[in-house]
Amino acid sequence: MIVKEKLSDFKELFEQAQKLIEDVKADSYEPYKNHYQAREILEILEKEIEKAICQLENDQKEDKLILQAILGYVQKDIGKISMFVDETNVAESYFEKSLQLLEPEKHDTKTILCYVDVLNQFGILFSKLSDVEKSKKYLLNAEEAVNEFKELSKDPLTIFDIFGTEDEIEKGKGNESLEKIITLTYFYLAQVYGQLGDLETSAKYCHLTLKRQLELKDYDPIEWALNSATLSQFYFGKNMLKQSRHLLAASSFMIANYAADLEQKEMSEDQRAAENERLKHRTADIDLCFSKYCIYILKTSIQRLLQEEEEDSTSLALFQLNDSCEKFPLELDFYERQVTDTYILTFDDAKITFLNAQSYLNKAKEYYSLENEASQYARIIQDYASLYKHLAFFEDDASTQAKLHKRRADQLEAVKKELNPTFYMNICRELIFELGLTYSDMLDIKCDKLKFEEVNPYALNKINTLCHKSIEKFQEFINTYKDKKTNEIPKTLDIDDYQAIACAHFNLGRLFYKIITPDKRMQLEWTQKSLNDYKIFIDYCEQYKEVAERMKGEKGVTQSMIELLPHKIKKLMDEISQ
> What does the alpha-carbon distance between residue 97 and residue 108 come to, in Å, rounded to a whole number?
18
Task: State the helix-helix crossing angle for 112-128 and 132-151, rounded to 10 degrees.
Answer: 170
Helix (H) or strand (E) holding 538: helix 520-543
Establish if 157 belongs to a structural domain: no
Closest Cα partner for 150 from 124, 185, 178, 130? Answer: 178
Query: Is 78 in contact with 46 (CB distance < 8 Å)?
Result: yes
* Residue 31 pLDDT level (bands cut at 50, 70, 90): confident
- pLDDT-wise least confident of 27-36, 55-64, 84-93, 250-259: 27-36
pLDDT for the residue numbered 28: 55
Residue 377 has pLDDT above 90, yes or no: yes
Mean pLDDT, residues 555-572 taken together: 93
Query: Is 116 in contact with 90 (CB distance < 8 Å)?
Result: no
Residue 436 has pLDDT above 80, yes or no: yes
Q: Which domain holds residue 323?
A: 236-394
Reduced to 3 states, what is the DSSP secondary structure of residue 574?
Answer: helix
Query: Is 115 in contact with 121 (CB distance < 8 Å)?
Result: no
Query: Is 365 in contact with 380 (CB distance < 8 Å)?
Result: yes
pLDDT for the residue numbered 493: 93
Closest Cα partner for 336 from 241, 261, 257? Answer: 241
Establish if 342 belongs to a structural domain: yes
- pLDDT-wise least confident of 22-26, 331-335, 448-452: 22-26
- pLDDT-wise least confident of 354-368, 445-459, 495-509, 557-571: 445-459
pLDDT for the residue numbered 24: 58
pLDDT for the residue numbered 8: 85
CA distances from 144 to 108, 112, 532 (A): 15, 12, 64
Query: Is 286 in contact with 251 (CB distance < 8 Å)?
Result: yes
Mean pLDDT, residues 479-485 taken together: 92
Mean pLDDT, residues 439-460 taken together: 84
Q: What is the pLDDT of residues 112-122, one digit of tens each?
A: 999 999 999 99
Establish if 110 belongs to a structural domain: no
pLDDT for the residue numbered 568: 92
pLDDT for the residue numbered 101: 94
Establish if 264 belongs to a structural domain: yes
Q: What is the pLDDT of residues 184-215, one digit of tens each?
A: 999 999 999 999 999 999 999 999 999 999 99
pLDDT for the residue numbered 6: 81
Structural domain total, the chain: 1
* Residue 81 pLDDT level (bands cut at 50, 70, 90): very high
Higher pLDDT, 459 or 433: 433
Establish if 364 belongs to a structural domain: yes
Q: What is the pLDDT of residues 127-148, one digit of tens each?
A: 999 999 999 999 999 999 999 9
Residue 531 has pLDDT above 90, yes or no: yes
pLDDT for the residue numbered 165: 76
DSSP string, 463-491: HHHHHHHHHHHHHHHHHTTS-TTT-S--S
What percent of the chain has a predicted confidence (pLDDT) above 90? Answer: 77
Angle at 460 between CA 454 and CA 466, to 5 degrees: 135
pLDDT for the residue numbered 552: 93
Residue 316 has pLDDT above 50, yes or no: no
Query: What's the burial of 505, exposed, middle or buried (CB within 10 Å: 0-12/13-18/19+)?
Result: buried
Mean pLDDT, residues 465-486 taken together: 95
Residue 317 has pLDDT above 60, yes or no: no
pLDDT for the residue numbered 457: 83
Establish if 435 belongs to a structural domain: no
pLDDT for the residue numbered 321: 41
524: phi then psi, degrees, rounded to nearest 5: -60, -45
Establish if 121 belongs to a structural domain: no
> What does the alpha-carbon distance between residue 492 and residue 498 come to, in Å, rounded to a whole number?
10
pLDDT for the residue numbered 57: 77
Mean pLDDT, residues 211-233 taken together: 94
CA distances from 52 to 120, 160, 298, 569 (A): 28, 19, 70, 98
Query: Is 54 in contact with 104 (CB distance < 8 Å)?
Result: no
pLDDT for the residue numbered 542: 94
| pTM given for the model | 0.84
Establish if 240 belongs to a structural domain: yes
